[in-house]
Amino acid sequence: MSKFLHTKYDSLTPYDTSGEVESMKGYIRLNTNESPFPPSPKVMSAVLEASRGLNYYCDPECSQLAAKIAEMFSLKPSQIVFGNGSDEILNFLFMAFCEKGAAFPNITYSFYKILAKFHGVDYIPVPLKNFRVDPSYYKNVKGRTIFLANPNAPTSLAMPLSEIEEILTSNPESLVVVDEAYVDFGADSAVTLLPKYGNLVITRTFSKSRSLAGARLGWCMTSEETAADMRNIKNTLTPYNINAMTQAAGLASLDDEEYTRKNIDMIRMIRGNTKSRLQEMEFEVLDSSTNFLFAKHETISGEEIFSSLKKYRIMIRHFSNPPAISDYNRITVGTPEQMQIFLEIMRGITKNAKQ
């Protein structure tokens, strides 16, 4: 730490990006929930085309993207705000709407806690029940903003819309944020609830189902009023937060729904197959509505599985905390070829452990 740093930043806890670095080249990376498929060829040519205009500032409103998404979900463009990844949207939400604190599951996307701490937001970690969100645990949050990833990470489980609605209804004084990063892989979107609930915010990303994690593009959908607040914050801090190439990439991706659809179908198929193979090796695998599996072996520890695979240059995600999930690992669904190698090595590891 330099002597120049503001003292309020002397104990930051940054997000763990160790699984995403250059040195992971040559590894099979099943640890960061990216798509194993490249973006659509249409995205690539749109990015090249957009690069010709890089001498100009980009559109701060992402007007074309907003119009397109508004049409897709029967909303007004003014209900949509874009972020440099949905992580930036989450940052704005913690900054703008958490004066009375926040509440989110004790096992969920780790960034919520990091942002709460950074912004000095008082938060309650709400326990899950058998790894599921129980709406009855969200009855006394006293105006705190509620953050729910649906489907949740790292558990991979989705909650039914009726339960989200229950939380919305019992907390009219709270904003309820539903993080739908993985919704395309098999959960019902809360978008249909937007006309009915003024306290709902939905966040989305191009990073997972649309193969654009490196482009950094996410958005939120909410009431016009809340969106206006978000836009104000965004335009104060980073008016040009979505660069021209990323805007073009996003648009081209939305114009090629067939490509995305095909990849999602493929991921779901590989997911089902991988799950069955793991079950044959005595893994307990949760019911995934995402592009990853959350799995625990009957006898071998989570840590041991993680480190054994690493020796073979296969990365999965292991969480040592909280202890309730330390015997599980999160395994991103890769290409059929990647999963074949993964399963073969996994078979060896489980056999060895038996001897």
Residues of this chain that interact with ligand PLP (CB under 6 A) are: 33, 85-87, 109, 149, 153, 179, 181, 205, 207, 213, 218
CA gap 246, 305 in Å, rounded: 37
Q: What is the CA radius of gyration of the chain?
A: 21
User: Any idea of the CA torsion for 247, 250, 251, 255, to the nearest 10 degrees?
Assistant: 170
CA gap 99, 85 in Å, rounded: 23
Q: How far is the CB of 353 from ligand PLP (least distance, A)?
A: 30
Of 29 and 277, which has the nearer Cβ to ligand PLP?
A: 29
Q: What residue number has its CB nearest to ligand PLP?
A: 85
Q: How far is the CB of 330 from ligand PLP (least distance, A)?
A: 10
Of 138 and 206, which has the nearer Cβ to ligand PLP?
A: 206
Tokens of 127: 């326990």
Of 294 and 350, which has the nearer Cβ to ligand PLP?
A: 294
Of 204 and 268, which has the nearer Cβ to ligand PLP?
A: 204
Of 91 and 199, which has the nearer Cβ to ligand PLP?
A: 91
Of 65 and 153, which has the nearer Cβ to ligand PLP?
A: 153
Of 110 and 235, which has the nearer Cβ to ligand PLP?
A: 110
Q: How far is the CB of 111 from ligand PLP (least distance, A)?
A: 7
Q: How far is the CB of 33 from ligand PLP (least distance, A)?
A: 6
Query: Comparing C-alpha atoms, which of 56, 18, 24, 67 is closest to residue 244?
Result: 56
Answer yes or no: are the C-beta atoms of 118 and 11 closer than 8 Å.
no
Of 121 and 346, which has the nearer Cβ to ligand PLP?
A: 121
Q: How far is the CB of 281 from ligand PLP (least distance, A)?
A: 26
Q: How far is the CB of 345 from ligand PLP (least distance, A)?
A: 25
Q: How far is the CB of 106 from ligand PLP (least distance, A)?
A: 15
Query: Comparing C-alpha atoms, which of 257, 326, 266, 327 is closest to residue 291?
Result: 266
Chain-centroid distance of CA 300 in Å reads 28
Of 250 and 350, which has the nearer Cβ to ligand PLP?
A: 250
What are the C-alpha distances in Å from 263 to residues 207, 267, 280? 13, 6, 26
* Continuous segment of H or E residues that includes residue 291: none
Q: How far is the CB of 37 from ligand PLP (least distance, A)?
A: 16
Give the strand pairing for 292-297 and 314-315: unpaired
CA gap 252, 104 in Å, rounded: 34
Q: Using N-to-C axis directions, what is the helix angle for 86-97 and 111-118, rounded to 10°?
A: 40
State the CB neighbour count (10 A cutoff) for residue 199: 19
Chain-centroid distance of CA 337 in Å reads 24
CA gap 353, 355 in Å, rounded: 6
Q: What values do phi and psi take at 220, rounded to 5?
A: -125, 155
Angle made by CA atoms 213, 190, 43, in degrees to the nearest 5: 30
Q: How far is the CB of 290 from ligand PLP (least distance, A)?
A: 8
